[in-house]
Amino acid sequence: MERIGWESLPGDARDAVQHELGSLVNVEQVGEGRRSALAVVAHLGTGRVSSRARPWPTSARPCNLLARRP
């Protein structure tokens, strides 16, 4: 899976992450792994957090995806 950089995320998405985590000091891209489109280590004033994400399938409805979860 091709990686997405933190800077290429829409501003609203970055703002939502910062709202949940707090102010970001630095965001470090992670190069290893295969299943996540976004993989970063977010350095905060209080420590660090790893974060991964994958694109939401535009063809599937969220309720159908949740229904398939075990």
Residue-level pLDDT, tens digit, the chain, 70 residues: 677 888 888 888 889 888 888 888 999 888 776 777 888 899 998 999 888 877 666 555 555 545 554 4
Residue 69 has a pLDDT of 46
* Torsion 64-65-68-70 (CA) sign: negative
Residue 21: CB partners within 8 Å, gap ≥ 6? 42, 44, 49
Residue 27: CB partners within 8 Å, gap ≥ 6? 6, 40, 41, 42, 43
Q: Domain ranges for the chain, please list them.
A: 6-68
